[in-house]
Amino acid sequence: MPVEMIRIAPGAQGCFIKNDRFNTTLISYNFYLPLDAENMAANALLPYMLTSCSAEYRDYIDLNIKLLGLYGADLACSVSKCGDCLHVRLSIGVINNEYSFDDCKPVNEAAELMAGLIFDPAAEDGCFIDSDLSREKRKTIERIQGEINDKKSYARTRLFEEMFGSDPYGKFIYGTAEEVEAIDGKRLYTARQQLLQSAFIRVNVVGRELPDGIFDSISQRLKEISRVNITDVTACRMLPEKNTPTYVTQRFDVTQGKLVMGFTAGVYGSLAKTAPMALLADIFGGGPYSKLFTNVREKESLCYYCSATYRRGKGFMTVDSGIEGANADKVVTAVLKELEDIRQGNFTNDLVSASKKAISDALLGYYDSPHALNAWFSRELNDNLSPEEAVKIISSVTREDIIEAAKGVRLHTVYRLLPLEGEE
């Protein structure tokens, strides 16, 4: 699968991912800013504001009519953490030009629409319009307030807060309701200007053909902006190890408790460096073949689910489990025992093979959709590996590499969300 990288401006790349399997084209603007606790709420609100209207399509009704005219083009946005960066994504998916009627070119029109949303927003005198801003603020506050309703997600958010402390990585990505409420039109417009000035930018196009002039057009737009202090997407503040782990307990009116454990891993960044940790996390708590599933969940029946995730952009691992409150301490002990077993080499070669097969299948699954390919190349910012190249790296990891990776893992923080007293 050919991938073409094109420099379009200082700190800005175009990435054409040619794939003939799809009947659609996906255009995705990906912006990377340093995680900043003070501005996180505004930066997280911004993509939702930009995809709701523009100077040409003044309200959401007009914008939706345009999307329907593009054969139901799919406009989306998201925010996530990528190492020590906030990843802001705006994307549009549309059918390929050859499937349209009346000589319409929906891919080209979608590209123009996206550029208009980003570079020509609905604003007056350097401020977003109050009515538009109020709508998006209300929706963001609802997201923040709704977080607690998903106890699994809430427990993970609380673990990050406790684990990372003053590091902005530990802050909830949408900020607080109070922070969102305090954002005015001028401040959010300033956040947009800073995004265009200093974010590292990658524009991904996934499809059969690259729309004529798309990267040249973006380049011309960016030439009108002073691009300074471009974000370093390789920067990472590693979390130091702890001699004594922190334990935090909260009680809620729930029937099933949540236990989330955070571990430092001592390595982050490129897959070439972190592949042993990826395999370790999968052997530890990946699929139904993993040690946490087969032993802690199935043999010992200590939890409803138990899985491990390695976050290579920041260099740490988490274990998530759903538990009976009375089993909280037993689960912690059992999880640590399984980790120690891996350190001691107490796992089979068949388990390593199963893990490599599962990870390789998942990597090759990125070719199954434009959105998956966009997600992959939104994360592979330095090495620009293809999923096939990643499979080769995973396949080369040895049993000894996995054992060494396990020796570098240390428990840092345990967060327990348990039923109210007397309900365990």
Average pLDDT, integer, range 115-136: 96
Residues 212 and 326 in one domain: no
Look at residue 276 and tell me if it is in a domain: yes
33 and 158, same domain (yes or no):
yes
pLDDT at residue 382 greater than cutoff 90: no
Which CATH number covers residue 340?
3.30.830.10
User: Does a structural domain hold residue 237?
Assistant: no
Domain tally, the chain = 2
Q: What percent of the chain has pLDDT over 70?
A: 99
What is the domain extent for residue 355?
246-419
Query: Is the same domain home to 143 and 7?
Result: yes
- For residue 240, tell me if it sits in a domain: no
Q: For residue 336, is it within any domain?
A: yes
209, 343: one domain: no
How many residues are listed for the chain in this entry?
A: 424
**What is the Cα–Cα distance from 47 to 78, expressed in whole angstroms?**
7
Among 117-126, 182-191, 380-389, which is the least confidently predicted range? 380-389
Q: Which of 208, 223, 238 is the last residue of a domain?
A: 223
pLDDT at 60 over 90: no
Closest CA to 239 of 343, 154, 333, 166: 166
Flag whether pLDDT at 246 surpasses 90.
yes
Q: Is residue 252 part of a domain?
A: yes
Residue 259 shares a structural domain with residue 217: no
User: Taking residues 229-238, what's their average pLDDT?
Assistant: 92
Q: Are residues 212 and 257 in the same domain?
A: no
Say whether both 78 and 204 belong to one domain.
Answer: yes
- pLDDT over 70 (residue 423): no
> Looking at the structure, do residues 8 and 111 belong to the same domain, yes or no?
yes
Whether 424 shows a pLDDT value over 70: the answer reads no
181 and 281 inside one domain: no
Residues 208 and 155 in one domain: yes
Residue 17 sits in the same domain as residue 164: yes
